[in-house]
Chain A
Amino acid sequence: MHNKSVAELSRELESGKISSVELIRDYLGRLKTEDEQLNSFITITEEQALADAHAADEQRAAGKATPWTGVPFAHKDIFCTNGVATTCGSKMLANFVPPYDATVTANFRKAGAVCLGKTNMDEFAMGSSTESSYFGATTNPWGLSRGEKRVPGGSSGGSAAAVAARLVPAATATDTGGSIRQPAALCGVTGLKPTYGRVSRYGMVAFASSLDQGGTMARTAEDNALMLNVMAGFDPKDSTSIDREVPDYTATLDEPLKGLRIGLPKEYFTGSLSAAMEEQVRSAIREYEKLGATVKEVSLPHANLAIAAYYVIAPAEASANLSRFDGARYGYRCEDPKDLLDMYTRTRAEGFGDEVKRRILVGTYALSAGYFDAYYLKAQKVRRLIQQDFINAFKEVDVLMSPTTPSPAFVQGEKTSDPVTMYLEDVFTIAINLAGIPAMSVPAGFVDGLPVGLQIIGDYFSEARLLNAAHQFQQVTDWHQREPQ
Chain B
Amino acid sequence: MQWDIVIGLEIHVQLATRTKIFSGSSTAYGAEPNTQANAVDLAMPGTLPVPNEQAFRYAVMFGLAVNAEIERRSVFERKNYFYPDLPKGYQTTQLERPIVGPGYVDIDLANGETKRVRIHHAHLEEDAGKSLHEDFHGMTGIDLNRAGTPLIEVVTEPDMNNADEAVACARKLHGIVTSLGICDGDMSQGSMRFDVNISLKPKGSDVLGTRTETKNLNSFRFMEQAIAHEVERQMDILEDGGTIIQETRLYNGDRNESRSMRTKEEANDYRYFPCPDLLPVVIDDAFIDEARNSLPELPDARKARFMEQYGLNDYDASLLASDSKLATFFEAAAERGKDAKLASNWVQGEFSARLNAEEKSVADSPITGAQLGDLVVRIADNTISSAGAKKVFEALWTGENDNVDAIIDAKGLKQVSDTGELEKMVDEVLASMPDQVAQYQQESDPKKQKKMLGGFMGPLMKASKGQGNPKLFNEILVKKLGG
- Interface positions of A (Cβ within 8 A of B): 78-80, 86, 88, 93, 96, 98-100, 102, 201-206, 208-210, 236-240, 316-317, 319-320, 322-324, 326, 328-330, 340, 344, 364, 367-369, 372, 376
Q: Is the CB of A329 within 8 A of B50?
A: no
Q: Given A239-B50, A239-B51, A326-B89, A369 and B45 touching (CB < 8 A)?
A: no
CA distance A376 to B49 in the complex (A): 23
Q: Is the CB of B44 within 8 A of A330?
A: yes
Q: Is the CB of A368 within 8 A of B271?
A: yes
Q: Given A209-B276, A344-B82, A376-B273, A324 and B48 touching (CB < 8 A)?
A: no
Which residues on the A side are within 8 Å of B279 (C-beta)?
A: 239-240
Q: Is the CB of A240 within 8 A of B43?
A: no
Q: Is the CB of B43 within 8 A of A329?
A: yes
Which residues on the B side are within 8 Å of A205 (C-beta)?
A: 45-46
27 contacts between A and B (CB under 8 A): A80-B44, A88-B45, A99-B39, A99-B44, A100-B47, A201-B46, A201-B48, A206-B45, A209-B276, A209-B277, A236-B50, A237-B50, A239-B48, A239-B277, A239-B278, A239-B279, A240-B277, A317-B273, A319-B80, A320-B80, A320-B89, A320-B271, A323-B80, A324-B87, A328-B87, A329-B43, A368-B269
Contact of B49 among A96, A210, A239 (CB under 8 A): A239
Which residues on the B side are within 8 Å of A240 (C-beta)?
A: 48, 276-279
Which residues on the A side are within 8 Å of B271 (C-beta)?
A: 319-320, 364, 367-369, 372
Which residues on the B side are within 8 Å of A204 (C-beta)?
A: 46
| Given A323-B88, A328-B142, 12 additional A-B pairs, CB 8 A | A80-B45, A80-B46, A86-B46, A98-B44, A102-B46, A202-B47, A202-B48, A237-B48, A240-B48, A240-B279, A320-B90, A368-B271
* B449 nearest CB across to chain A (Å): 75
Q: Is the interface of B mostly helix, strand, loop or mixed?
A: loop
CA distance A98 to B43 in the complex (A): 12
Interface size class of B (residues with CB under 8 A): 20 to 34
Q: Which single residue of chain A is at the shortest CB-CB distance from B39? A: A100
Most interface-central of A78, A88, A205, A239 (chain B CB within 10 A): A239
* A322 nearest CB across to chain B (Å): 8
Which residues on the A side are within 8 Å of B244 (C-beta)?
A: none
* A258 nearest CB across to chain B (Å): 39
Q: Is the interface of A mostly helix, strand, loop or mixed?
A: loop
Which residues on the A side are within 8 Å of B48 (C-beta)?
A: 201-202, 237-240
Most interface-central of B140, B142, B269 (chain A CB within 10 A): B269
Q: Which single residue of chain A is at the shortest CB-CB distance from B79? A: A320
CA distance A201 to B276 in the complex (A): 12
B78 in the interface (beta carbon within 8 A): yes
Q: Is the CB of B45 within 8 A of A367?
A: no
* A344 nearest CB across to chain B (Å): 6
Q: Is the CB of B42 within 8 A of A323?
A: no
* B73 nearest CB across to chain A (Å): 15
* B82 nearest CB across to chain A (Å): 6
Q: Which single residue of chain A is at the shortest CB-CB distance from B270? A: A369
Most interface-central of A86, A323, A364 (chain B CB within 10 A): A323
Which residues on the B side are within 8 Å of A316 (C-beta)?
A: 273
CA distance A204 to B51 in the complex (A): 19
* A211 nearest CB across to chain B (Å): 8
Within 8 A of A (CB), among B74-131: 78, 80, 82, 84, 87-90
Q: Given A205-B45, A205-B46, A367 and B88 touching (CB < 8 A)?
A: no
Q: Is the CB of A340 within 8 A of B84?
A: yes
Q: Which single residue of chain A is at the shortest CB-CB distance from B144? A: A329
CA distance A236 to B24 in the complex (A): 12
Which residues on the B side are within 8 Å of A208 (C-beta)?
A: 276
Most interface-central of B43, B88, B142 (chain A CB within 10 A): B43
Q: Is the CB of B80 within 8 A of A367?
A: yes
Q: Which single residue of chain B is at the shortest CB-CB distance from A340? A: B84
* A382 nearest CB across to chain B (Å): 16
* B91 nearest CB across to chain A (Å): 11
Q: Is the CB of A203 within 8 A of B43?
A: no
Q: Is the CB of A367 within 8 A of B90?
A: no
CA distance A100 to B24 in the complex (A): 15
Q: Is the CB of A323 within 8 A of B51?
A: no
Q: Which single residue of chain A is at the shortest CB-CB distance from B50? A: A239
Which residues on the A side are within 8 Å of B47 (C-beta)?
A: 100, 202-203
Which residues on the A side are within 8 Å of B278 (C-beta)?
A: 239-240
CA distance A285 to B140 in the complex (A): 63
* A238 nearest CB across to chain B (Å): 5
CA distance A313 to B387 in the complex (A): 74
CA distance A340 to B87 in the complex (A): 14
CA distance A99 to B38 in the complex (A): 10
Q: Is the CB of A317 within 8 A of B44?
A: no
Contact of B269 among A326, A369, A376 (CB under 8 A): A369
Which residues on the A side are within 8 Å of B273 (C-beta)?
A: 316-317, 320, 367, 372, 376
* B190 nearest CB across to chain A (Å): 22
* B114 nearest CB across to chain A (Å): 41
* B132 nearest CB across to chain A (Å): 13
CA distance A96 to B45 in the complex (A): 9
Q: Which single residue of chain B is at the shortest CB-CB distance from A96? A: B45
